[in-house]
């Protein structure tokens, strides 16, 4: 019985070693950098307070080793927001073909007012969008 238990434990341990060593599909993020927002889609420029509306942003990545990482969403006062998108850059073999991707922010205003959003479009360029909240 003890020998059978030792063989079973050894097989289980060997299985864990094989699974943990198989990271062929795993790529490490090498760096994070800004990615320009090419365009912005807002379904309704008027909405009610305490409701949620998605704001979609579109960006282009130069290879399959890049993708959306996060937004830097900054409050500039009560009704002004600036948004910068960031991409990750990973290592490994990737197709060097550019592609476009969409991401979104869920805007949930807590106050009535006229909100102005600026989205970084590269260099000193910004895309400006306004949403009136009733």
Does residue 17 form part of some domain? Answer: no
Query: Tens digit of pLDDT for each residue in 32-43?
Result: 999 999 999 999
pLDDT at 74 over 50: yes
Q: What is the pLDDT of residue 7?
A: 56
> pTM here?
0.79
Query: Tens digit of pLDDT for each residue in 81-91?
Result: 999 999 999 98
Higher model confidence: residue 117 or residue 11? 117
Does residue 119 form part of some domain? Answer: yes
Higher model confidence: residue 108 or residue 7? 108
Number of domains into which the chain is organized: 1
pLDDT band at 95 (very low <50, low <70, confident <90, very high): confident
pLDDT at 120 over 70: yes
Does residue 48 form part of some domain? Answer: yes
Does residue 65 form part of some domain? Answer: yes
Cβ contact 57:84 at 8 Å: no
Q: What is the pLDDT of residue 93?
A: 86
Does residue 18 form part of some domain? Answer: no
Does residue 63 form part of some domain? Answer: yes
pLDDT at 19 over 50: no
Q: What are phi and psi of 108, to 5 degrees?
A: -130, 85
Q: What is the pLDDT of residue 62?
A: 94
Does residue 16 form part of some domain? Answer: no
pLDDT at 27 over 90: no
CA atoms within a 13 Å half-sphere pointing along the CA-CB vector of 110: 1
Bridge partners of residue 105, in order along the sequence:
55
Q: What is the CATH number of the domain that holds 37?
A: 2.60.40
Does residue 3 form part of some domain? Answer: no
Range of the domain at 84: 29-133
Q: What is the pLDDT of residue 77?
A: 93
Residues 6+ apart with CB under 8 A from 87: 32, 33, 34, 35, 59, 61, 66, 67, 68, 69
């Amino acid at each position: 019985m003890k020998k059978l238990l030792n063989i079973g434990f050894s097989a289980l341990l060997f299985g864990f070693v094989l699974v943990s060593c198989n990271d062929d599909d795993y790529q490490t993020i090498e760096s994070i950098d800004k990615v320009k927002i090419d365009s912005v889609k807002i379904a309704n420029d008027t909405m009610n307070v305490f409701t949620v509306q998605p704001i979609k942003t579109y960006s282009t990545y130069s290879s399959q080793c890049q993708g959306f990482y996060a937004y830097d969403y900054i409050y500039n006062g009560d009704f002004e927001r600036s948004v910068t998108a960031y991409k990750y850059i990973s290592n490994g073999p990737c197709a060097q073909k550019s592609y476009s991707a969409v991401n979104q922010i869920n805007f949930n205003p807590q106050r009535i007012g006229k909100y102005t959003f600026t989205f970084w479009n590269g260099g000193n360029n910004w895309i400006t969008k306004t949403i009136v909240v009733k």
